[in-house]
Amino acid sequence: MHRRGWRSALALVGLALVGCGAAGPGTGPASPSGHGTVSVLYAGSLVNLMENDLGPAFSKATGYTYQGYGAGSDELVSDIKGKVKTGDVFISANPSVNQGLEGTANGGYVSWYSTFAQAPLVLGYNPKSRFAADFRSEPWYQVVTQPGILVGRTDPVLDPKGKLTSEAVGDAATLLGMPSLNSALSSWPVFPEETLVGRLEAGQLDAGFFYSFEATAQSIPTVSLSPIGLMATFTVTTLNNAPNPQGAEAFVSYLLGPSGRAVLQKEGVQLLQTTLSGPVGSVPESLRSLVGV
């Protein structure tokens, strides 16, 4: 009976220790504790970075399920306002795009946003193109006006990259006295931002306009658009009425924290000191130290 008592007592202690180990702090490495899915709507130029690097890394670090959707930033604004897409986080490639979601008239989806990165616009070319040697030896503005060349771009109505492309070509035409550049621009086909890299790699295009990190990630050779130098500026915000507001805060915290910034830098995105646009009071308290307050 004495032995039975000791055995019972030891069993109870063992159960108590197991219970403490499952829930108590300091019993081992912390496990990811996020719950549910975090939906991130992002500029289509980020598709490779988001789907192959940042999204999976965020899920592994936090326990949240990452779900991403990439498209032109202006297109995403229309989708959000039209309730075609619902998300927790919105990442754009142009700060002014956020204005389309601000205020009661626009649905009040955005109250604040923070700039966090930038990337130059470049011209990428297919190394197997018959114009590849020309891109390596001649100014870009002469090569893209040659007969028969196929140059891809994105829609300036739907995508900030398309706007930057039109601006870069227009500025070069004026600066260099080359109206033929504007004529060439009007003849170039327009494609969704998230498909442009694939079309170039498949040989459907001789060249296309990209952000530098897109080309770097896919080993696409590029040329500078000198004497024109234009940049994309990326912003992030949590969307009001997000289905998973805690998950939204967790994603932005990861993106702007040391781990997320390390991923961005590794992929060739140029980091900026974060700058807040909007009232401080509209920013979730957990993010205020990260967004440039």
Average confidence (pLDDT) over 217-227: 94
pLDDT at position 8 over 90: no
- Residue closest to 255 by CA, chosen among 100, 27, 42: 42
Exposed/middle/buried for residue 204 (C-beta within 10 Å: 0-12, 13-18, 19+): middle
Whole-number average pLDDT of the chain:
89
Q: What is the pLDDT of residues 135-186, one digit of tens each?
A: 999 999 999 999 999 999 999 999 999 999 999 999 999 999 999 999 999 9
CA–CA separation, 142 and 290 (whole Å): 44
Amino acid present at 89: V
Mean pLDDT value across residues 79-103: 96
Cis preceding-peptide flag for 127 (omega within 30 of 0): no
| The model's pTM | 0.84
The single-letter code of the amino acid at 95 is P
Whether 42 contacts 68, CB under 8 Å: yes
Q: How far is CA 93 from CA 98, 196, 229, in A?
A: 10, 16, 16
Delineate the domains of the chain, giving CATH numbers in brackets.
37-118+233-287 (3.40.190.10), 119-231 (3.40.190.10)
At 269-291, the pLDDT tens digits run 999 999 999 999 999 999 999 99
| 204 pLDDT higher than 70 | yes
Given the DSSP bridges, would you call strands 222-223 and 190-191 parallel, antiparallel or unpaired? unpaired
DSSP sequence for 243-269: S-HHHHHHHHHHHHSHHHHHHHHHTT-
| Contacts for 81 with CB less than 8 Å, ≥ 6 apart | 100, 101, 106, 107, 109
Which pLDDT score, from 0 to 100, does residue 43 have? Answer: 95
pLDDT digits (tens, 9 = 90+) for 260-270: 999 999 989 99
Q: Which helix (H) or strand (E) holds 70?
A: strand 65-71
Mean pLDDT of all residues in 61-85: 95
Q: Which of 210, 192, 234, 195 is nearest to 92 (CA)?
A: 234
